[in-house]
Chain A
Amino acid sequence: MRRACRPIFVFFAVAALFVGCNSRSHTSQPENPPHGGVMQPYAGKLPPDDGQWTMPAKDYGAYRYSQLDQINTSNAKDLKLAFTFSTGTTNGLEAAPLVVNNTMYIITSFPNMLYALDLTKPGAPMKWAYDPKPVASAKGVACCDLVNRGGSYYNGKIIYATLDGYVVGVNANDGHEVWKTKVGDINIGETITMAAQVVKDKVLVGNSGGEFGVRGWIVALNADTGKLVWKAYNTGPDKDVLIGLRFKPFYDMDKGKDLGVSTWNPDQWKIGGGNVWGWIAYDPDLNIVYHGTGNPGPWNPDERPGDNKWTSGIFARDADTGEALWYYQWSPHDMHDYDGINEQILLDLPIDGKTRKVLVRPERNGYIYVLDRTTGEVLSATPYGHITTSSGVDLKTGRLKVNEELKPSPGKVVHGACPAAPGVKDWNPSAFSPKTGFLYLPHNNLCMDWESVETGYIAGTPYVGADVKMYPGPGGNGGVFSAWDPINKKEVWHFDDRFPVWSGALATAGNVVFYGTMDGWFIARDAQDGHELWRFKTGSGIIGQPITYKGPDGKQYVAILSGVGGWAGAVVTGGLDVRDPTAALGFANATAELPKYTNKGGMLYVFQLP
Chain B
Amino acid sequence: MKSISVAALLLLSLLAGCAREKRSYQDQSPYVEQAPDKVVQSDLHPGMMPPPSSYEKNVYAESAYDVAEGQKLFEQYHCSGCHFHGGGGIGPPLMDSDWIYGSDPQNIRATILEGRPNGMPSFRGKIADHQVWEIVAYVRSLSGLLPKDVSPGRSDQISLGTTPQQTHPQYEKKEQPGLNREEKPK
Is the Cβ of B119 less than 8 Å from the Cβ of A580? no
Contact A453 B75 (CB under 8 A): yes
* A583 and B168 within 8 A (CB): no
| A462–B81 touching, CB < 8 Å | yes
- Shortest C-beta distance, B86 to chain A (Å), equals 5
Residues of A near B40 (CB, < 8 A) are: none
Interface 9-mer from B28-36, B105-113, B152-160: B152-160
B46: interface (CB < 8 Å): no
Contact with A18, one of B75, B164, B185 (Cβ below 8 angstroms): B185
Give chain B residues whose Cβ lies under 8 Å from the Cβ of A10.
175
Q: Does A447 contact B (CB under 8 A)?
A: yes
Q: Which of A413, A451, A458 contacts B78 (CB 8 A)?
A: A458
**Contact A140/B121 with A413-B160, A463-B81, A579-B95 known, Cβ cut-off 8 Å:** yes
Instruction: Say whether A464 contacts B175, CB under 8 Å.
Output: no
> Contacting A577 at CB < 8 Å: which of B96, B158, B160?
B96
Q: Is the CB of B168 within 8 A of A588?
A: no
Known contacts A467-B157, A580-B95: does B89 contact A585 (CB below 8 Å)?
yes
A462 touches B82 (CB 8 A): yes
Contacts of B176 in A (CB 8 A): 14, 17
Taking a contact as CB atoms under 8 Å apart, the answer to whether B95 and A577 are in contact is yes
Establish whether residues B93 and A143, one from each chain, have CB atoms under 8 Å apart when the complex forms. Answer: no
Closest to B94 in A: A577
Of all chain A residues, the one with the shortest Cβ separation from B171 is: A416
Residue in contact with A474 in the complex, picked from B85, B86, B172, B179, CB distance below 8 Å: B172
Bound-state CA distance A464–B166 (Å) is: 24
A581 within 8 A of B: yes
Q: Which of chain B's residues 154-186 have a Cβ closer than 8 Å to chain A? A: 157-160, 162, 164-172, 174-177, 179, 185
Q: Would you call A402 an interface residue if the criterion is a C-beta within 8 Å of the partner chain's C-beta atoms?
A: no
Q: Is the CB of B158 within 8 A of A458?
A: no
User: Which residues of the partner chain B approach A582 to less than 8 Å between Cβ atoms?
Assistant: 84-85, 87, 157-158
Q: Which residues of A contact B159 (CB under 8 A)?
A: 413
Q: How far is the CB of B117 from chain A (nearest CB, A)?
A: 5
Evaluate contact between B167 and A471: CB separation under 8 angstroms. Answer: yes
Which residues of chain A are near B170, meaning CB under 8 Å? 388, 415-416
Q: Tell me the bound Cα distance from A143 to B81 in angstroms.
A: 9
- A523 interfacial contact with B, CB 8 Å: no
Query: CB-defined interface of B88-128 with A at 8 Å, one 1/0 digit per residue?
Result: 11111101101000000000000000010111110000000
Cα–Cα distance between A451 and B160 once the two chains are bound (Å): 10
Flag whether B25 is at the interface (Cβ < 8 A). Answer: no
Tell me if B53 counts as interface (CB < 8 A to partner A). no
How would residues 22 to 63 of chain B score, 1 for a CB under 8 Å from any chain A CB and 0 otherwise? 000000000000000000000000000000000000000000
- A140-B119, A476-B167, A580-B95 known; A469+B88 contact, CB < 8 A: no
Give, as a whole number of angstroms, the nearest-CB distance from B133 to chain A. 20
- Tell me whether A574 and B88 are in contact in the complex, defined as CB-CB below 8 angstroms, given that A416-B170, A449-B160 are known contacts: yes
| A266 and B160 alpha carbons, distance in the complex (Å) | 35
Q: Which B residues are CB-close (under 8 A) to A140? A: 82, 90-91, 118-121
Closest to B85 in A: A580
Q: Is the CB of B185 within 8 A of A575?
A: no
A574 B92 Cβ-Cβ under 8 A: yes
- The reply to whether B168 and A416 contact each other, CB–CB distance below 8 Å, is yes
Please state if B167 and A472 are interface contacts (CB–CB under 8 Å): yes
Given A136-B118, A415-B160, A461-B78, CB of A474 within 8 Å of CB of B171: yes
Asked if B158 contacts A474 (CB within 8 A), the reply is: no
Q: Mark A118-150, 1 if CB is under 8 A from B, else 0.
A: 000000000000000000111111110000000
Please name all residues of chain A whose beta carbon is closer than 8 Å to the beta carbon of B96 when the two chains form the complex. 575, 577
Interface membership of chain A positions 1-19, coded 1 if the CB is closer than 8 angstroms to chain B and 0 otherwise? 0000001001100100110
Whether A468 is near chain B, meaning CB under 8 Å from some CB there, is yes
Once the chains are docked, how many angstroms separate the CA of A339 from the CA of B93? 26
A577 vs chain B, min Cβ distance (A): 4
Complex: how many Å from CA A342 to CA B107? 42
Contact A581 B158 (CB under 8 A): yes
- B175, A578: Cβ atoms under 8 Å? no
Residues of A within 8 A of B90 (CB): 139-143, 462
Quick one: which of A139, A142, A450, A576 has the most chain B CB within 10 A? A576
Q: Which residue of B is nearest A591, CB measured?
A: B164
A505 to chain B, nearest CB (A): 26
Q: CB within 8 Å of B: which of A556-586?
A: 570, 574-585
The answer to whether B76 has its CB under 8 Å from any CB of chain A is yes
For B179, give the chain A residue with the smallest CB separation.
A14
Nearest A residue to B117, CB-CB: A136
Question: Is the pair A139, B118 in contact by a Cβ cutoff of 8 Å?
Answer: yes
Specify which chain B residues have a CB less than 8 angstroms from the CB of A467 in the assembled complex.
85, 157-158
Instruction: Determine the residue in chain A with the shortest Cβ distance to B143.
Output: A577
B77 CB to closest chain A CB, in angstroms?
A: 7
Q: In this complex, what residue of B is CB-closest to A7?
A: B175
- CB atoms of B164 and A589 under 8 A apart: yes
**Residues of B contacting A388 in the complex (Cβ-Cβ under 8 angstroms):** 170-171, 174
* B167 near A474: Cβ-Cβ < 8 Å: yes
**Is the C-beta of A170 less than 8 angstroms from some C-beta in chain B?**
no
Contacts of A575 in B (CB 8 A): 88, 92-93, 96, 98
Chain B residues with CB under 8 Å of A589's CB are 164
Measured CB to CB, the nearest residue on chain A to B176 is A14
**Residue of chain A at shortest CB distance from B159:** A413
Contacts of B85 in A (CB 8 A): 467, 580, 582-583
Docked pose: A142 CA to B82 CA in angstroms: 10
A216 at the interface (CB under 8 A from B): no
Contact B164 A570 (CB under 8 A): no
User: Is there an interface contact between B81 and A583, defined as CB atoms closer than 8 Å?
Assistant: no
The yes or no answer to A590 lying at the interface (CB within 8 A) is yes
Verify A471–B81 contact, CB threshold 8 A: no
Is A449 a contact of B158 with CB atoms below 8 Å?
A: yes
Chain A residues positioned under 8 Å from B115 (CB to CB):
137
Q: Report whether B160 and A473 are in contact in the complex, using a CB–CB cutoff of 8 Å.
A: no
- In the bound complex, residues from chain B placing their C-beta under 8 Å from that of A143 are 90
Given contacts A461-B78, A462-B90, A474-B171, 4 further A-B contacts (CB under 8 A): A137-B121, A140-B118, A570-B89, A582-B87
Q: A-B pairs with the 7 shortest C-beta distances?
A: A462-B81, A580-B87, A583-B87, A140-B119, A416-B170, A139-B119, A461-B78
6 contacts between A and B (CB under 8 A): A7-B174, A136-B117, A447-B167, A474-B171, A580-B93, A585-B84
- Could you tell me which A residues sit within 8 Å of B by CB distance? 7, 10-11, 14, 17-18, 21-22, 136-143, 211, 386, 388, 413, 415-416, 418, 447, 449-451, 453, 455-456, 458, 460-464, 467-469, 471-474, 476, 570, 574-585, 588-590, 592-593
